[in-house]
Amino acid sequence: MESFVSTGGTAPRPSKNERRDAAREKARALREEQRKRERRNKILVGGGITLGALAIIAIIAVIIFTSIRPAGPGPRNMATDGIKIGEGFVAEEAAALQPGEEPSEPSVNPANVVDIRIWVDFLCPVCGAFEAANADQIEGWLEDGSVTYEVHPISFLDRVSQGTKYSTRAANAAACVADYSPDSFLAYSDALFANQPEENSTGLDNETLAALAGDAGVENASQIEQCIDEGEFTDWVGDATLRAQAGPIPNSNVESITGTPTVIVNGEQYTGSVSDPDEFAAFVLAQSATPSTTATPTPTPTPTP
């Protein structure tokens, strides 16, 4: 690894603050529209339309459909239960896991490219703190090819979203983007964390999750919207979460995932501060200098706060 310094291109990428502000404004408008819909529904209920009964029928229909629907494949480009992002934010392509199939082993990086893997729950506030502190420098390392970044969305916190299963729905939405527009995954992950709801809230609705995907510049937006709305990879999210909890985590010193975020760098778990980018950069540097079987890289990183 030559450097942990972000390098610019001919067309500068919007800063994280700019992307976050744009995503928050988009979500604010969508939440306002959601509140308007809720007010209209209350008026209709007051007029004697039994929307509650209709909703119950719809929920029962969904449960029946889900119970008889055969298990489908997982998302493409997540054969390890995570999506691996490389230089220039390009995702590593992979076939979808078939029902009952075990995840693939992580691919091995060249000796001078650090392997960073992370398990996240998009409702987890500590994950949000890690993202806020470290996303800019990780994206800089991705721009110059110093690292790869493999993200594993899981659902630990469904119990604190007032019955809406937001953790599962957000992980499913991320899987939809990985499947239909993998090179947009990191931008979408940024948007989910920029608009992260609080624990013990209902979270973002599916319409907002789909709108944030469009705001992240995804390809195949209509397919992603349908994938989110139908919960296409809900079963996969549950299976991937169970696999992470059961372990072992390949190519690492981690037995199983017991909390989020879990960050593994070249096989070693990071246990330092989630909100100190210098401490994390120093850990990445230390792991990058570990001799390998093929070469001993000599990086000269410059951590950026």
Q: What is the CATH number of the domain that holds 89?
A: 3.40.30.10
Does the residue 20 lie in any domain? no
Helices (H), 47-161: 51-68, 125-143
Q: What is the pTM of this model?
A: 0.77
The residue written with tokens 């893997």 in the block is 117
Does the residue 101 lie in any domain? yes
**What DSSP state is assigned to residue 264?**
E
Does the residue 113 lie in any domain? yes
**297: burial class by Cβ within 10 Å (0-12, 13-18, 19+)?**
middle
Does the residue 119 lie in any domain? yes
Does the residue 204 lie in any domain? yes
Question: What's the domain range around 258?
Answer: 83-288
* Number of domain units in the chain: 1
Does the residue 301 lie in any domain? no
Each residue's pLDDT tens digit in the chain (305 positions)? 545 544 444 455 666 667 666 666 766 666 666 666 656 555 544 544 455 555 445 444 444 444 455 668 999 999 999 999 999 999 999 999 999 999 999 999 999 999 999 999 999 999 999 999 999 999 999 999 999 999 999 999 999 999 999 999 999 999 999 999 999 999 999 999 999 999 999 999 999 999 999 999 999 999 999 999 999 999 999 999 999 999 999 999 999 999 999 999 999 999 999 999 999 999 999 999 864 333 333 344 444 43
Helices (H), the chain: 16-46, 51-68, 125-143, 166-180, 185-194, 206-215, 221-230, 234-246, 277-288
Please state the φ and ψ torsions of residue 3, each to the nearest 5 degrees. -160, 150
Token pair belonging to 86 = 């490389």
- Report the alpha-carbon distance of residue 118 to residue 270 in Å, rounded: 10
Does the residue 246 lie in any domain? yes
Q: Which residues contact 232 (CB under 8 A, 6 or more apart)?
A: 72, 172, 175, 176, 226
Q: Which residues contact 53 (CB under 8 A, 6 or more apart)?
A: none
Does the residue 147 lie in any domain? yes
